[in-house]
């Protein structure tokens, strides 16, 4: 049987948030008012269609005292207590007074383990004792999770009480828990019952493999986006005597739009791998992620600084005639001599202004063809990759209980891509030099994917918020 856990507790303590996090369900109803969850509902976490574990979201206790009275009035031996709880659920099925208790106890009676959620930022109180006693009566394996919703810290008093009723007590921040915390919690679940040890060990292995697979798939999406973006052009014919404007501006706008659309497609695929499809782009606060690819100097911060563009050799191949090779001998490159001056000289070339070149192609009958793009600015693939890196990080680490919008920004002076290790930067620079020529080559695509995978694995150390 798939390990199954009922997440129970007082109303509004983060039960649904914990289910959302562990089952990766971004759509689960979570809300500030008690009573958000009205019915017990199982949420299965599957990988490749294989169920790994099930979490049952439940409504909170409403009348713990009355339930306990009922149980105690019929108590015989300790060994019969579990049966008595089952009897309570049978006899009160459909009774509106005990609707919530029946909903939350039924999965436990049916064999689920118990995850009891409390808010460690609120003081401990006697009313919780009644809930814990009922759970003890069920006789099922159980663990307490101290969630911290507010600022205050009442963990110590909670621990003293919880230790009496639960074999395991853990702190688990439902909304901020990262992937590693989640894995460690799953391992703890395995300790609750020998029967669950093996399936949960397998679940942890599957989860770790899935994590690597998601990163690999994301890297491939990003690689394909870079390749496609490097190819995009817009063309239109110009009638004889017609001025290039406003056609050129219109073509430039269309090109930008298509580049943004291509980026959006990549974003959606990445979010899909991480089960964050509902992170819709038109949510308020989402604008930063959709920051115009081309506006102002802000976009450059996602890419490489000018100095790094030179040092990694990203510019070398791109500069016409290899002139920079002559200008920068091996020695001067290594010592960094003269780079500043050089950067100043070719600054305009590297800036955003040159993003899309305009060409008037050969004459055709009665007119000419105007082409905008492809974008050849050396920093362009770096900026795209920097943006994708940050987006991937936010999505990969995003907890599924979070309902706040995602925001992305690079601050300060540090260029995001400058933080990459030298070796990786150089390899990327070489690969970017081949984007146009080898974009369709499956071998090149695989090589670029591996490099991007390494980027996604690297720590983001820039000034990001
Ligand atoms: N800051 C913070 N907020 C949290 C945390 N856990 C839950 N919340 C918030 O607390 C509120 C209640 O969370 P839910 O997960 O809906 O709680 P619940 O126990 O399922 O509530 P009911 O279904 O009403 O019993 C929501 O507004 C959550 O966003 C947490 O760890 N930190
Ligand atoms: Mg709930």
Please state the rounded mean pLDDT for residues 63-84.
93
Output the average pLDDT for the chain. Answer: 82
Please state the rounded mean pLDDT for residues 70-88.
93
Per-residue pLDDT band at 3 (split at 50, 70, 90): very high
pLDDT of the residue at 317: 42
pLDDT of the residue at 299: 55
Closest ligand to 14 CA? 1
In short, whether 36's Cβ falls inside 6 Å of ligand 1 is yes
pLDDT of the residue at 411: 57
pLDDT > 50? residue 108: yes
Please state the rounded mean pLDDT for residues 322-333.
35
In short, whether 17's Cβ falls inside 6 Å of ligand 1 is yes
pLDDT > 80? residue 424: yes
Backbone angles phi, psi at 321, to 5 degrees: 70, 5
Q: Which atom of ligand 1 is nearest to the CA of 30?
A: 16
pLDDT of the residue at 211: 95
pLDDT > 50? residue 207: yes
Please state the rounded mean pLDDT for residues 194-219.
95
Please state the rounded mean pLDDT for residues 328-349.
34
Best of 38, 149, 171, 185 for a ligand 1 pocket test (most atoms within 8 Å of beta carbon): 149
pLDDT of the residue at 283: 28
pLDDT of the residue at 315: 54
Are 314 and 350 within 8 A, CB to CB?
A: no
Q: Which atom of ligand 1 is nearest to the CA of 148?
A: 31
| Tokens 């099922």, located at residue | 140
Q: How large a percentage of the chain has pLDDT more than 70?
A: 80
Helix axis angle, 99-109 to 126-138, nearest 10°: 40
pLDDT of the residue at 412: 58
Exposure string of 324-341, with b = 16+ CB inside 10 Å and e = fewer, is beebbeeeebeeeeebee
Q: Whose CA is nearest to atom 4 of ligand 1?
A: 149
Q: Which atom of ligand 1 is nearest to the CA of 32?
A: 27
Best of 9, 11, 12 for a ligand 1 pocket test (most atoms within 8 Å of beta carbon): 12
Per-residue pLDDT band at 312 (split at 50, 70, 90): low
Q: Tell me: the pLDDT tens digits for 40-70?
A: 999 999 999 999 999 999 999 999 999 999 9
Return the H-helix or E-strand segment holding 174: none
pLDDT of the residue at 39: 93
pLDDT of the residue at 408: 61
> In angstroms, what is the span from residue 32 Cα to ligand 1's centroid?
6
pLDDT of the residue at 409: 60
pLDDT of the residue at 334: 31
Per-residue pLDDT band at 242 (split at 50, 70, 90): confident
In short, whether 259's Cβ falls inside 6 Å of ligand 1 is no
In short, whether 35's Cβ falls inside 6 Å of ligand 1 is yes
pLDDT > 60? residue 330: no
pLDDT of the residue at 459: 79
Whether omega for the bond prior to residue 246 falls within 30 degrees of 0, making it cis, is yes
How far is the C-alpha of 41 from the C-alpha of 229, rounded, in Å? 44
Q: Whose CA is nearest to atom 30 of ligand 1?
A: 149
- pLDDT greater at residue 46 or residue 255: 46
Q: Tell me: the pLDDT tens digits for 343-361?
A: 333 333 334 444 445 566 6
- pLDDT greater at residue 413 or residue 416: 416
Closest ligand to 17 CA? 1
List, in order of start, the domains of the chain with CATH numbers: 4-192 (3.40.50.300), 218-457 (no CATH)
pLDDT of the residue at 360: 64
In short, whether 121's Cβ falls inside 6 Å of ligand 1 is no
In short, whether 31's Cβ falls inside 6 Å of ligand 1 is yes
- Which of the residue ranges 50-54, 257-261, 427-431 would you say has the lowest mean pLDDT? 257-261
Q: Which atom of ligand 1 is nearest to the CA of 57?
A: 20
pLDDT > 80? residue 335: no
Nearest to 379 by CA among 326, 440, 306, 323: 306
Q: Which residues contact 365 (CB under 8 A, 6 or more apart)?
A: none
Per-residue pLDDT band at 251 (split at 50, 70, 90): confident
| Number of neighbouring beta carbons within 10 Å of residue 376 | 14
Per-residue pLDDT band at 326 (split at 50, 70, 90): very low
pLDDT > 50? residue 285: no
How far is the C-alpha of 301 from the C-alpha of 292, rounded, in Å? 13
- For residue 115, CA distances in Å to 140, 145, 360 come to 10, 7, 68
pLDDT of the residue at 416: 79
> In angstroms, what is the span from residue 20 Cα to ligand 1's centroid?
11
**pTM of the predicted model, to two decimals?**
0.83
- Which of the residue ranges 33-42, 44-53, 323-332, 385-394 would you say has the lowest mean pLDDT? 323-332
Tokens at 157, concatenated: 């008093």
pLDDT of the residue at 55: 97
| Number of neighbouring beta carbons within 10 Å of residue 161 | 18
Please state the rounded mean pLDDT for residues 426-454.
95
- Which of the residue ranges 156-160, 219-223, 317-321, 408-412 would you say has the lowest mean pLDDT? 317-321
pLDDT > 90? residue 259: no
Are 391 and 452 within 8 A, CB to CB?
A: no
In short, whether 336's Cβ falls inside 6 Å of ligand 1 is no
């Amino acid at each position: 049987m798939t390990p199954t856990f009922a997440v129970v507790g007082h109303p509004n303590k983060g039960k649904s948030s914990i289910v959302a996090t562990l089952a990766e369900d971004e759509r689960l109803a979570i809300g500030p008012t008690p009573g958000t969850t009205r019915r017990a509902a199982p949420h299965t976490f599957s990988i490749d269609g294989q169920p790994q574990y099930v979490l049952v979201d439940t409504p909170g206790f409403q009348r713990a005292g009355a339930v306990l009275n009922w149980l105690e009035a019929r108590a015989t031996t300790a060994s019969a207590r579990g049966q008595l709880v089952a009897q309570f659920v049978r006899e009160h099925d459909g009774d509106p007074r005990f609707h919530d208790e029946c909903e939350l106890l039924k999965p436990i009676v049916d064999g689920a383990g118990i995850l009891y959620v409390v808010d460690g930022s609120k003081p401990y109180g006697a009313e919780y004792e009644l809930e814990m006693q009922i759970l003890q009566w069920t006789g099922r394996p159980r663990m307490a999770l101290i969630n911290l919703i507010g600022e205050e810290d009442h963990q110590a008093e909670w621990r003293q009480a919880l230790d009496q009723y639960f074999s395991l007590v853990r702190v688990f921040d439902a909304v901020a828990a990262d992937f590693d915390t989640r894995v460690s919690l799953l391992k703890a679940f395995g300790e609750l019952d020998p029967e669950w040890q093996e399936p949960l060990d397998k679940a942890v292995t599957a989860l770790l493999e899935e994590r690597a697979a998601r990163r690999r798939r994301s890297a491939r999406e990003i690689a394909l986006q870079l390749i496609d973006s490097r190819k995009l052009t817009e063309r239109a014919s110009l009638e004889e005597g017609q001025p290039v404007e406003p056609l050129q501006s219109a073509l430039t706008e269309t090109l930008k739009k298509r580049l943004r659309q291509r980026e959006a497609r990549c974003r959606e695929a990445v979010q899909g791998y991480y089960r964050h499809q509902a992170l819709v782009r038109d949510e308020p606060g989402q604008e930063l992620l959709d920051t115009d690819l081309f506006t102002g100097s802000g976009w450059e911060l996602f890419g490489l600084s000018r100095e790094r563009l030179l040092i990694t050799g990203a510019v070398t191949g791109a500069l016409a005639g290899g002139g920079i090779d002559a200008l920068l001998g091996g020695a001067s490159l290594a010592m960094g001599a003269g780079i500043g001056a050089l950067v100043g000289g070719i600054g305009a070339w590297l800036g955003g202004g040159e993003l899309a070149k305009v060409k008037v192609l050969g004459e055709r009958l009665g007119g000419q063809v105007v082409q905008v793009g492809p974008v050849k600015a050396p920093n362009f693939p770096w900026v795209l990759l920097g943006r994708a890196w940050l987006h991937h990080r936010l999505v990969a680490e995003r907890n599924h209980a979070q309902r706040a919008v995602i925001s992305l920004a690079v601050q300060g002076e540090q260029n995001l891509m400058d933080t990459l290790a030298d070796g990786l930067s150089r390899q990327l620079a070489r690969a970017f030099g081949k984007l146009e020529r080898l974009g369709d080559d499956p071998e090149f695509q695989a090589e670029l994917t591996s490099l991007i995978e390494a980027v996604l694995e690297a720590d983001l150390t820039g000034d990001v918020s």
